[in-house]
A and B are shown apart, each in its own frame.
Chain A
Amino acid sequence: MAGNVLMWLCLGFSVLAAIFCTRPKFQKMFAVSSMLSAVLASSYLMLSILNNNFQLSYVFHNSSVSLSFWYKISVFWADKGGSMLLWLLAISIVAAILSFKPQSQKSFLVVLFAIQAFLAIFVIGSSTFDVLPQAASDGLGLNVLLKSPWMAFHPPVVFLSYALMAVPFAMTIAYLFRPCEQNHQIWLSRMTPWLIASWFLLGLGIAMGSIWAYETLGWGGYWGWDPVENASLVPWLIQTVAIHAALNDENGNGNARSVVVAVLSSFCLVVMAVFLTRSGVLSDVSVHSFAGSSMLFSYLIMVLASVGLSVFLCVRSWKFVPHGLESHYTSRYFMMSIGNIVLSVYAVFILAATLLPVVTQIFGSPAVISQSFYQAISIPVAIVMCVGGAITPLMVWRKTSIKYLARQLIAPLFFGLVFVVLAVEAGMADPLFMITGAFASIMLVSNFQVMLKYRVQKWGAFISHMGVCLLLMGVVGSSIFFGQESVSLGMSSQNKECLDFGVGLEYVKSDGQSFETMYTLTHKDSEIKGKIGARWDTRSQAYFTKPFIHRSFLRDVMVYVSNIREDMEFIIGKGSSVLQGGYTIKLLEYNEDVIKVLVSDGPDLSKEIIFNKDNMTPGSVAEIDGKSYFLSIDSVGNNTITFKLVDLRNSDRNTIRFTMTVMVKYCMLFVWLGMIITLLGLLWAFLGRLRSPRGNRMSSVLAKDKGVGVALP
């Protein structure tokens, strides 16, 4: 109740702040008020979570008393409404602060407050603060898959990135209202740090998501080209385009048009990503997206509003926004533009493939693009970008001598060859791997070479390029060099083989609530030991396991356990019940005439099993649901009975059985190193800009403004 009131207040104040754009005093007042309402609402939610207030529907559905402190914090954004609230909170703080800065233009602030208003509507519409009629004693708990530090903190990183992206967007809109040259320079210099910050955070969020996928899900991968994943990758790619276009512009090319389009598109794509994830249009084809939502139209309206406003202003102001100068094909300007074109086409196709199910659904039978498409187009794009990425840093902005370029490329080309040799030595002589790896090595060494010629402050770009090269090697290597095999094991398993490893089990323990096994994998002379545990998760009614990853320089060996079945004896006293093998088994009645047992399976099954005088003896077996398990009497005591659940499809009646999957994946270290180094480079670039902001090129540019283009030698 209180939360909803605060949200309506926040909405109201945002709208007022937008309306009062010509009265700064009022605007600031409303801005601060809306920020305060967002802060209060967020504090209310966070405190409710930490104090186990299960009367709030949100807290009930996502939290539980036993949850640890940090995971309770993460409950804030565990579900739709909370993550929207987080986004709103971030924007409201940014907007309030910026409303006090004299440089903030009117149109800029109006756009920020409009975005804030939309978000407030989303929070209200997601029933974030709905109250249950009665406070339960405990909540449903956090989805067990979210109990990982990577996934717990992935949403705030992504939503902070989205919040920060609103600023370059609003600044660009403001620039389009008054596209004079002075504004051009001011806009460029002010916007770029925000853009880099958002770009860095989104990259970090995407990386965290893939780390989580690899470590938790057990299918051996870290990127599935799932529509919702793509929805966050596409804006990141366009942000990359925006940054490179902005660099071109800052360094004299004057191509404001491409910067404008790239920045506006990035934000529209961010809003589209939120729409795709939350509206439910992709719920049938994506494991990530939410089920259908009544909020669909609200999200769609925000997408249409952002796109509509962007297109309208672009068309209106196009004549007044400068385009790039004519540049020589051996100029950095030209090469960066080509790179931007390639990345943009790549992003457009990923987006088209992601949207295909939505579009085909409207016009008839839905169709989906399979993963092979994304992999197929990524390879040529990667190779082209590597060629460009190797040559472009070597270039001068305006015109470079080809002889100079050729000389600088000797060392990188040599290292490309070195890579091929190393690949063959390591037994990884796959042609695709060698080709992409060679190009990536060339780009890596070229960037390293150039980096050494610049001041440390400017190393960010080169570091991230090198990171991308490592990432590319890792991605291609891990996709090609991947093996997997599953084998069925039990307590008495001996001499089993899986994927060239001999498998031995030290022990297997299970008691219906938890499971543990210690194993040894032997391959020729080397041995790998590990331990896997699993806990029964009541929320999903299954054992929850995580893979054990043995990492080494070149490869990861991943061991994953699934399909745990127990044939174990368990004792039940009269009137008590036991959780075993997924069933709840209750001993209803036990006397000399009859044994009555109730077996239930959650919602689906509830069966009463009766053993009467004739078959109340050890060894008697009764059917439960005719499909997998049978209930058998092991022994009979004074007040208790020992039962067993027997899996009659497996001939060994007395073993705990499970499936062990062994996966070998190469080059994963390069993937993680690549991601870390790329992000480090982005952060470096951001910090470099904070230290020495590129502003005030106005005087030099205004002087050049008189001429048309630049005279080339």
Chain B
Amino acid sequence: MNRKVSLLIGIIAIAVLSGVSIWFFLSSMTPFTSDFSEAKSGKAYQVYGVLDQKSLKQEGNLNYFNMVDEKGEVLPVILDGVLPQNFAGAQKGVAIGSFKDGSFHAEQLLVKCPSKYENKDGKESGGSGK
């Protein structure tokens, strides 16, 4: 097979794959913030803040709790799914979802340990198992 043709096929393959991937890439970009007023805008966000364990209420599959930011603002969060193993002992977490009807509906919650060594306490996702 001609060298030029193989090169062309290779380039087309890369271009097609990259195009598809870029499309998915751009549509899954979620901004990340620790500012609750941004998080309340209704768009999809990843919100980072301090977890208030004492505010936890559980009903069926839903977990209701509050996150607090540096200014002391409170963000009510509703998490659908399993609450992460570390929730009780964790200080901070990242809620991924969007704000609707007065609460932040999180599809996923990432939780971190307060110790300096945050490695290997595992990924904690309270969401579907995908």
Give the chain B neighbours of A79 by CB distance below 8 A: 117, 119
Give the chain A neighbours of B28 by CB distance below 8 A: 353, 369-370, 372-373, 376
Decide yes or no: A288 and B119 within 8 Å by CB, A357-B32, A485-B61 being known contacts: yes
Residue on B nearest A658 in the bound complex, by CB:
B58
List residues of B (98-126) whose CB comes within 8 Å of A's CBs.
108, 110-113, 115-126
Give the chain B neighbours of A136 by CB distance below 8 A: none
Check: A401 CB closer than 8 A to any chain B CB. no
A212, A224, A356, A628 — most chain B CB neighbours (10 Å)? A224
Q: How far is the CA of A544 from the CA of B124 in the complex (A)?
A: 14
Q: Is the Cβ of A365 less than 8 Å from the Cβ of B31?
A: yes
Q: How far is the CA of A661 from the CA of B18 in the complex (A)?
A: 40
Check: A366 CB closer than 8 A to any chain B CB. yes
Q: Is the Cβ of A665 less than 8 Å from the Cβ of B61?
A: no
Q: Is the Cβ of B54 less than 8 Å from the Cβ of A334?
A: no
Give the chain B neighbours of A370 by CB distance below 8 A: 28-30, 44, 96
Check: A543 CB closer than 8 A to any chain B CB. yes
- Which one of A8-16, A106-114, A214-222, A584-592 is at the B interface? A214-222
- Range class of the A interface residue count: 35 or more
Q: How far is the CA of A151 from the CA of B129 in the complex (A)?
A: 20
- Among B3, B46, B83, B124, contact of A368 (Cβ-Cβ < 8 Å): B46
Can you list, as one digit per residue, whether each of A358-375 has a CB less than 8 Å from chain B (1) or not (0)?
001000011111111101
Check: A458 CB closer than 8 A to any chain B CB. no
Give the chain B neighbours of A345 by CB distance below 8 A: 13-14, 17-18, 21
Q: Is the Cβ of A482 less than 8 Å from the Cβ of B130?
A: yes
Give the chain A neighbours of B108 by CB distance below 8 A: 371
Q: Is the Cβ of A563 less than 8 Å from the Cβ of B83?
A: yes
Q: Is the Cβ of B60 less than 8 Å from the Cβ of A487?
A: yes
Q: How far is the CA of A286 from the CA of B113 in the complex (A)?
A: 12
Residue on B nearest A229 in the bound complex, by CB:
B123
- Among A283, A377, A663, contact of B118 (Cβ-Cβ < 8 Å): A283
Q: How far is the CA of A485 from the CA of B81 in the complex (A)?
A: 7
Give the chain A neighbours of B112 by CB distance below 8 A: 283, 287
List residues of B (47-93) whose CB comes within 8 Å of A's CBs.
48, 54-61, 81-89
Check: B37 CB closer than 8 A to any chain A CB. no
Q: Is the Cβ of A366 less than 8 Å from the Cβ of B1?
A: no
Q: Is the Cβ of B13 less than 8 Å from the Cβ of A341?
A: yes
Can you list, as one digit per residue, whether each of A299-310 has a CB less than 8 Å from chain B (1) or not (0)?
000000000000
Give the chain B neighbours of A377 by CB distance below 8 A: 20-21, 24
Check: A265 CB closer than 8 A to any chain B CB. no
- Which one of A180-188, A324-332, A465-473, A501-509 is at the B interface? A324-332
Q: How far is the CA of A327 from the CA of B89 in the complex (A)?
A: 60
Give the chain B neighbours of A366 by CB distance below 8 A: 31-33
Give the chain B neighbours of A486 by CB distance below 8 A: 58, 60-61, 82
Q: How far is the CA of A422 from the CA of B120 in the complex (A)?
A: 39
Residue on A nearest B15 in the bound complex, by CB:
A345
Residue on B nearest A479 in the bound complex, by CB:
B130
- Among A151, A338, A540, A560, contact of B86 (Cβ-Cβ < 8 Å): A540
Residue on B nearest A214 in the bound complex, by CB:
B129
Give the chain B neighbours of A285 by CB distance below 8 A: 32, 46, 94, 110
Q: Is the Cβ of B94 less than 8 Å from the Cβ of A352?
A: no
Give the chain B neighbours of A365 by CB distance below 8 A: 31-33
Q: Is the Cβ of A478 less than 8 Å from the Cβ of B129?
A: yes
Q: Is the Cβ of A219 less than 8 Å from the Cβ of B119?
A: no
Q: How far is the CA of A484 from the CA of B48 in the complex (A)?
A: 26
Give the chain A neighbours of B27 by CB distance below 8 A: 373
Q: How far is the CA of A375 from the CA of B116 in the complex (A)?
A: 32
Give the chain A neighbours of B44 by CB distance below 8 A: 370
Q: Is the Cβ of A482 less than 8 Å from the Cβ of B1?
A: no
A398 to chain B, nearest CB (A): 11
Check: A337 CB closer than 8 A to any chain B CB. yes
- Among A288, A352, A627, contact of B25 (Cβ-Cβ < 8 Å): A352
Decide yes or no: A219 and B126 within 8 Å by CB, A287-B111, A291-B116, A326-B2 being known contacts: yes
Q: Is the Cβ of B13 less than 8 Å from the Cβ of A326?
A: no
Q: Is the Cβ of A545 less than 8 Å from the Cβ of B13?
A: no
Residues in chain B within 8 A of chain A (CB atoms): 1-3, 6, 9-10, 13-14, 17-18, 20-21, 24-25, 27-33, 44, 46, 48, 54-61, 81-89, 94, 96, 108, 110-113, 115-130
Known: A369-B29, A560-B82, A627-B55. 15 other contacts (CB 8 A): A151-B120, A213-B123, A217-B84, A219-B85, A219-B127, A221-B123, A229-B123, A329-B1, A337-B10, A353-B28, A368-B30, A380-B20, A482-B128, A484-B128, A542-B88
Residues in chain A within 8 A of chain B (CB atoms): 61-62, 78-80, 143, 145-146, 151, 155, 212-213, 216-221, 224, 226, 228-229, 277, 283-291, 326-329, 334, 337-338, 341-342, 345-346, 349, 352-353, 356-357, 360, 365-373, 375-377, 380-381, 478-479, 482, 484-488, 537, 540-545, 560, 562-563, 582, 625, 627-628, 649, 659, 661, 663, 665
Would you give 15 A-B contacts (Cβ < 8 Å), ordered by A?
A145-B86, A216-B85, A221-B123, A228-B119, A342-B17, A366-B31, A369-B28, A370-B44, A373-B24, A377-B24, A482-B130, A486-B82, A542-B89, A544-B85, A665-B129
